[in-house]
Amino acid sequence: MNDLEVLHVFCAPDGTHGNALGVVRDAPRTHPDPAARQARARELGFSETVFVDDPERGVVDIYTPTLRLPFAGHPLVGAAWLLDIEVLELAVGEIFARQDGEFTWITARAEWAPPRALRQYATAAEVDALPTPPPGEGWLYAWAWEDEAAGRVRARAFPRRGDGIDEDEATGAAALLLTAQLGRALNIRQGKGSQLLTAPGPDGLIELGGRVRFAVQV
């Protein structure tokens, strides 16, 4: 089915890494109902797949391999970059987007993010040494300061939901939650080397940014 584009979102400065994202452009025609979308997301096996319902208005629908999400960070950064659009429409509200050189930014609220357990470790080496996934249940975001004064964080993310995604390479929603908790801008190195940037704004808004590139077109 020639309807899919694959992106890498939150890439490192050299363009490597980033979280894979499937984007189905003509979703109302090819996948008109939630059951079809869920089946396609499960078949693709990405941590998230975005279904574009209206590219001009920015109406999108997000699925993991096992459930529909009202909000997710890396799918929205990727969709904003691909559609080159300033507003994305979701049930939670309007997501404003902007391009700034090599970075694509969205503006969102931490309360839109699904719950995650944010667990701080003493050192980045402890985060690096965690098994994949760590024992336990529920979504775990493990993090440690690399340079607290500079706002540099080392993080890894483990969905632990039994859908084949043992570790999430770059997690925008968790970055929003951590930024809200710490109340400061962050430069996060997650997974194998993905980079996520955040910047708190007024009225509880947070900007989330990163680099996006094409992985492959199917």
pLDDT, one tens digit per residue, over 2-31 is 789 999 999 999 999 999 999 999 999 999
How many residues are given for the chain? 218
- Whole-number Å distance between alpha carbons of 200 and 107: 9
* Domains in the chain with CATH codes: 4-99+210-217 (3.10.310.10), 112-209 (3.10.310.10)
Considering only CA atoms, which of 37, 58, 49 is closest in space to residue 7? 49
Cβ atoms of 93 and 112 within 8 Å: the answer is yes
- Could you say which DSSP state residue 57 is in? T
- Whole-number Å distance between alpha carbons of 176 and 182: 10
**Per-residue confidence (pLDDT) for residue 216, from 0 to 100:** 56
- Whole-number Å distance between alpha carbons of 195 and 211: 8
**Per-residue confidence (pLDDT) for residue 218, from 0 to 100:** 44
- Whole-number Å distance between alpha carbons of 23 and 20: 10
pLDDT, one tens digit per residue, over 115-124 is 999 999 999 9
- Whole-number Å distance between alpha carbons of 22 and 47: 9
Q: 142-174: b or e for each residue (b if 16 or more CB lie within 10 Å)?
A: bbbbbeeeebebbbbbbbbeeeebebbbbbbbb
Chain centroid, CA 44 distance in Å: 17
**Per-residue confidence (pLDDT) for residue 148, from 0 to 100:** 98
* Regions of the chain where pLDDT drops below 50: 217-218
